[in-house]
Amino acid sequence: MTKSGPPVVTPPLSTLKEKKRKVFHEHGKDSLDLAVSIGNSQEDKALLKAGRHHQPQAGQPRPDRIHQKSRTKKKLEEVKATIAIQRARLKREKVKMRKERPGPADHQKSSPAQDRAPRKRVSFA
Largest CA distance in the chain: 138
Residues with Cβ < 8 Å from 62, sequence gap 6 or more?
A: 56
CA-based radius of gyration for the chain? 50
b/e burial code for range 20-34 (CB count within 10 A of at least 16 → b): eeeeeeeeeeeeeee
- Residue 74 region by backbone torsions, left for phi larger than 0, else alpha for psi between -120 and 50, else beta: alpha
Q: How confident is the model at residue 13 (pLDDT cuts 50, 70, 90)?
A: low
How far from chain centre, in Å, is Cα 62? 24
Tens-place pLDDT, residues 100-116: 987 765 555 555 556 67
- Assess whether pLDDT exceeds 60 at residue 86: yes
How far from chain centre, in Å, is Cα 54? 20
Cα–Cα dist 12/29, whole Å: 39
The amino acid that residue 40 corresponds to is N
Tens-place pLDDT, residues 30-72: 778 889 999 999 999 999 888 887 766 666 666 655 567 789 9
The amino acid that residue 104 corresponds to is P
